[in-house]
A and B are shown apart, each in its own frame.
Chain A
Amino acid sequence: MHRISQGGEKGVRKTELKKEFQNTSIDDGIGLLIKNGDIVMDKKGTAYYLWRADDYTKYLLTTDTKFNLLYSRIEEMKTHLEAKIRNGGSSRDTGGTKNSSKDELGSFEGRNNSLDYSFGTDQISNLDKDRFRKEFDLVLRKCSGSSGWVLLSTIREEMERKYDLRREDFYAQVKEMTNREYNTYELSSGGIEGITVRGLLHGFVRCI
């Protein structure tokens, strides 16, 4: 499992694993891990590769456009539903559950008909760290071009469309997150807004 997780997004070739563990029969172990849902096996080219389940998701997000779109859509729906549940509790209490659910469904269908990926305007003032990171990663992935660098202001604007997020809160979270996850995110100087590192304004971010 440790060896497979080392493969990260790229995964590990099954034949490589067999070579590394020549003296052990690894097929049963692999079978069990697949059964438990800990790892995934899939073909890449003509070879079989193994991924940790999370890494496989990341792999698909970068290689499979359909999956990426679907994933984004599900995340969006999830966020929307959560927000509705938080904000719309009172309407349900007054017997409007059925109708409001229908409305929500209708609005989702409407949105799904369009391929335009846009956030709703859910009013969530405080995002917890995990949630912020998920949303941040989602926008980062969506906005990054061939060089991988994205303006922090672009991410902020995208996230502001969905959340009631103040600029200073956004940058406080970014600062905390990039400082904590310094092996995941890279910052670059420049831009018109951002966070200050070593006395320089850093307005660009990318995933390593």
Chain B
Amino acid sequence: MYPYNLALNPFPSAPTPGEFDTLLLGGQRHKQAKLAIVSCIEDLGKKMREDHGSKQFRLVTVIHDVGSGKTHLALHLRSCSELLDKAIVSFTDLAQLHPRTTKGFYRGMIAGFHKHNFDDLRYAILNYLRQRAEEDDDKKARKIFRYSIWDKMKSTSLEKKMQLILENKISYDEMALNEALAGHFTAVEISIIQSISSNKFLSNHPEANSLEEIITNVCALAKLNLTFLNLISVFEFDEFDSDKHSMDILKALINAHLPSTLLLIVLTPSAYEQIRNTNPPLYDRLEKANYKIDLAGSNTLDEISDIILEYINSNQKDKSMTFSERDDLLSKIKILYDEFPDFRNIRSMINVMYHAIEYSEKSSSRTIDEQILDQTIATVYPGLRLRENIMDVPVSEFMKIAQESKNKEMIKNRVGQAIKALFDCASDNGKVIRPSFLQDNGRSIDVTYDDFGGKRTVVEVSIEGGNATSFEGKPNIDISKNGMEDRTTFSNNKSIENLQHNACVKIDRHKLVDLIYFSNKYYDNQIKQDDIEKALFLGKSIKLY
């Protein structure tokens, strides 16, 4: 049983997105980007309807870093429901095209369509011919279906004959098709219609050996898509770069103003910069793209969290996540995101989630808990460590302490205990001479610590017994900006003069985790020599001595 009542693991595990993985699109920014493209296509369709017969063409660019979800977005457009009745989409991954010859480029564009796109086109063409044969009693059109007097006597309908052709049980008359379409379509269009009608287009389409032929063929195909399916043709080029041949072809395609067509170019800022340096005319054209799809913030915490929730919510059986499960998962994602720069990236975080879901299933856990994330990171990213911490704090402990720090009273007491433990440890190991420390600094230490809620608290810790007293600080006081913290901002019943005599230590949230982790081990008698050395270093780093 998968956690969160999931029927299966919803997260993909692949270095790049596949066709199936992209059925879903999560994240506000990615959804907005999709809406922008859909709106561009709608605008193109509107202009086509308003100005019948005009050659409407659009250019769209998506420029962002690797792993930001560009390919996912492009692939998603091929299957998204919003475009089903508006566009027919071809996706070409240029990274898979080698060498990038003219012929190869064109083949890639054709192979980028789904097979069912051509099945639909085939049906639409044959249906159009059937209607012509029936409505006008067009003899040439009837001949295409090899409709004879014998068929008429047997009451075989034209529709039946068309069905048999679609099922590849009988063939149609190619000569008759040429004759019937002559005058209505160009030679290239007829040639494409022949290939599609004979169901051989993907394997045996008219070749394009030159730029002119590519343009002619693509124009013809776009026209057929519009005529028979009333759909706009979208050609997506993923991993576009500064390969000379690719740039020449793209420039030609843009200049040709392919009718009822949208070109969507996906590239990285680096590739865009190289194009700028090597091919200014193409760069200029790309700069003038009708739409520039902005995926800014595609790797922010909000976006990544949205995407993860989208995967989970879309795959839950009958019961959705509870609010507490959701909040718990989001807080864990936040910690991973904040503490590991490696996970500030959709692809990496999805990979973590994939493995965490698998481990949860194996351990029959209903949620992804701290231990599971610990296990996941240790197994999948064995070299990864919490970089800011001095102690070897496991991720699970870090998450637990971060969670506990939300309980203000509890964490206050634990900070007090931890400081005492650290002071005792330093004293036992000769780092601090207790009597002289007490003489110089008094019996208490003022500890200022940041918690995980962005709040700063000051606690006076008695290192010679007694309880800790705390004075809460204003949230988000930045010592580094303001210099010394203004003690008068803390209301308490202890005199400021007394406080000023105490030693002061300041602890950021990483050191807070270190301190409490050390303290837990210290009081559980689990401290080893290695831990002592790190703890002594920790004491020095917070200027305890």
List the interface of chain A (C-beta within 8 A of B).
130, 145-149, 151, 179, 182-183, 186-191, 197-198, 200, 202-204, 206-208
Contact = CB atoms under 8 A, between A and B. Distances in A.
Contacts of A183: 297, 300-301
Contacts of B297: 183, 186, 208
B344 A204 contact: no
B341 interface: yes
B389 to A, nearest CB: 16
Contacts of B327: none
B339 to A, nearest CB: 11
Nearest to B300: A183
B270 A191 contact: yes
Contact of A188 (B270, B287, B344, B348): B270
Given A149-B269, A204-B269, A204-B270, 9 more contacts: A147-B63, A149-B63, A149-B273, A179-B341, A183-B301, A188-B270, A198-B341, A198-B348, A207-B296
Contacts of A186: 65, 296-297, 299
A195 to B, nearest CB: 11
A202 B342 CA distance: 13
B64 interface: yes
Contact of B273 (A148, A191, A200): A191
Nearest to B29: A208
A207 B272 CA distance: 17
27 contacts: A130-B481, A146-B292, A149-B269, A149-B272, A149-B273, A151-B273, A179-B341, A182-B341, A182-B344, A183-B297, A183-B300, A187-B65, A188-B269, A189-B268, A189-B270, A190-B268, A190-B269, A190-B273, A198-B341, A200-B66, A203-B270, A204-B269, A206-B296, A207-B296, A208-B296, A208-B297, A208-B300
Contacts of A190: 268-271, 273
A168 B37 CA distance: 41
Nearest to A175: B341
Contacts of B296: 148, 186, 206-208
Given A149-B269, A183-B300, A188 B65 contact: yes
Contacts of B63: 147, 149
Q: Which 6 A-B pairs have the closest CB atoms?
A: A190-B270, A188-B65, A149-B269, A208-B297, A204-B269, A188-B269
B345 interface: yes
Contact of B341 (A151, A197, A203): A197
Considering residues B65, B269, B294, B300, which has the most beta carbons from chain A within 10 angstroms of its beta carbon?
B269
Interface string B61-72: 101111000000
Contacts, number: 63
A147 B269 contact: yes
Contacts of A204: 65, 269-270, 273
Interface string B287-313: 100001010110111000000000000
A146 B292 CA distance: 8
A204 B268 CA distance: 10
Considering residues A203, A206, A207, which has the most beta carbons from chain B within 10 angstroms of its beta carbon?
A206
A178 to B, nearest CB: 10
A25 to B, nearest CB: 29
A146 B287 contact: yes
Contacts of B301: 183
Nearest to A129: B480
Nearest to B301: A183
Given A149-B272, A151-B273, A191-B273, A198 B345 contact: yes
Contacts of A151: 273
Interface string B30-63: 0000000000000000000000000000000101
Contacts of B269: 147, 149, 188, 190, 204, 206
A149 B292 CA distance: 13
B287 A198 contact: no
A151 B268 CA distance: 13
A190 B68 CA distance: 14
A130 B480 CA distance: 11
Nearest to A204: B269
Contacts of B61: 147
A190 to B, nearest CB: 2
A79 B269 CA distance: 31
A197 B341 CA distance: 8
Nearest to A188: B65
A130 B272 CA distance: 31
B487 to A, nearest CB: 24
Interface in B338-359: 341-342, 344-345, 348
Interface string B430-458: 00000000000000000000000000000
B103 to A, nearest CB: 30
A186 B268 CA distance: 13
B214 to A, nearest CB: 27
B71 to A, nearest CB: 15
A85 to B, nearest CB: 21
Given A149-B269, A197-B341, A208-B300, A189 B292 contact: no
Contacts of A202: 65
A208 B29 CA distance: 11
A164 B47 CA distance: 56
A178 B325 CA distance: 31
Interface in B266-280: 268-273
B354 to A, nearest CB: 18
A188 B292 CA distance: 17
A189 B68 CA distance: 11
A207 B297 CA distance: 9
